[in-house]
Amino acid sequence: MNFTGKTAVVTGGSRGLGRAVCRKLAEHGANVVFSYAGNTAAAQEALAELERMGANVRAVQGNVADSAAVKALMDTAVKEFGRLDILVNNAGITRDGLVMLMKEEDFDAVIDTNLKGTFLCMKAASRIMLRQKYGRIVNLSSVVGLHGNAGQVNYAASKAGVIGMTKSLAKELASKGVTVNAVAPGFITTDMTDGLPEAAKSSLLSTIPMARLGAPEDVAEAVAFLAGDGAGYITGQVLGVDGGMGM
Ligand code: NDP
């Protein structure tokens, strides 16, 4: 894998999976522009870590569900590094609750960030990638988008929607040198899953054939593969990274 001379935008790159993706792409030579929502301390920490690795990196605060912020994010990549080769749509949130109790604003917030945010970023990046006749878009879906999960109708809808958008955009851009794929992680140890009660974690473990939660690096490897030149004949696919959970 060699990303030297390539520029990647990773949304939500300050923590968790996004941060591991930034590290992996930077390790293989990419210039990295990552976004975050509002946790400046985590973003500064990620920035410092990537700079220590010798990476060319920029951090941009902004909501992925806001089209002006998304434009500013993509503009940063082009202005600072001249290109935008890789987009990883990773920013995401959960607002769990059983359907009868779920507040309308919790449904909207999850759809806004996870689904509309991915749409806005794909739209802004595709314009640039089409001009370049080259691009790699990798979207973060989830095993929950494929199989559902009690207490997560909003999240499942957003992540199933991401798969539909991935396949549709893949068809739109297939002949233009731009691939669009998704990864569907299972349960990965990040801040998002840290809050789960211990009982929920152990019952989850029993559903994972590999009998362990995933690490952010497990997902980063798959994202980097799909973002690489070696995956040039792969588009519209959903790659499970779930220890066998989705079999
Ligand atoms: P984390 O909660 O650890 O990190 C989320 C990141 O997204 C942070 O950088 C956060 O910024 C950023 N973010 C959140 N909302 C926005 C927004 N509106 N605009 C811009 N950035 C935003 O999440 P994970 O690393 O666990 O998850 C990353 C992705 O992977 C998500 O899409 C998630 O759905 C998906 N996924 C995760 C799984 C898991 O088990 N962890 C399993 C399957 C899929 P800030 O720090 O400023 O808030």
The reply to whether 155 belongs to the active site is yes
Pocket of ligand 1 (CB under 6 A): 11-12, 14-18, 35-39, 42, 63-65, 90-93, 113, 117, 140, 142, 185, 187-188, 190-193
**How is the beta sheet containing 86-89 ordered, strand by strand?**
57-61, 31-36, 7-10, 86-89, 135-140, 178-185, 238-241
| Ligand 1, pocket-test mutation among 10, 71, 93, most atoms within 8 A of CB | 93
Mean pLDDT of the chain: 97
Q: Identify the residue whose C-alpha is closest to ligand 1 atom 2.
A: 192
Task: Name the active-site residue from 36, 134, 155, 233.
Answer: 155
Taking only the tens place, the pLDDT of each residue in 149-197 is 999 999 999 999 999 999 999 999 999 999 999 999 999 999 888 888 8
Question: 87: which strand partners?
Answer: 9, 137
Q: What is the rounded distance in angstroms from the CA atom of residue 90 to the CA atom of residue 78?
A: 20
What is the reported pTM? 0.98
Q: Identify the residue whose C-alpha is closest to ligand 1 atom 6.
A: 12
Q: Is 136 helix (H, G, I), strand (E, B) or coil?
A: strand
Taking the CA of residue 39 as reference, the ligand 1 atom at the shortest distance is: 47
Which domains does the chain carry?
7-240 (3.40.50.720)
Digit-by-digit pLDDT tens for the chain (247 residues) are 899 999 999 999 999 999 999 999 999 999 999 999 999 999 999 999 999 999 999 999 999 999 999 999 999 999 999 999 999 999 999 999 999 999 999 999 999 999 999 999 999 999 999 999 999 999 999 999 999 999 999 999 999 999 999 999 999 999 999 999 999 999 999 988 888 888 888 888 999 999 999 999 999 999 999 999 999 999 999 999 999 998 8
> What CA dihedral angle connects 120, 122, 123 and 129, to 10 degrees?
150
Residues 6+ apart with CB under 8 A from 209: 243, 244, 245, 247
Taking only the tens place, the pLDDT of each residue in 221-239 is 999 999 999 999 999 999 9
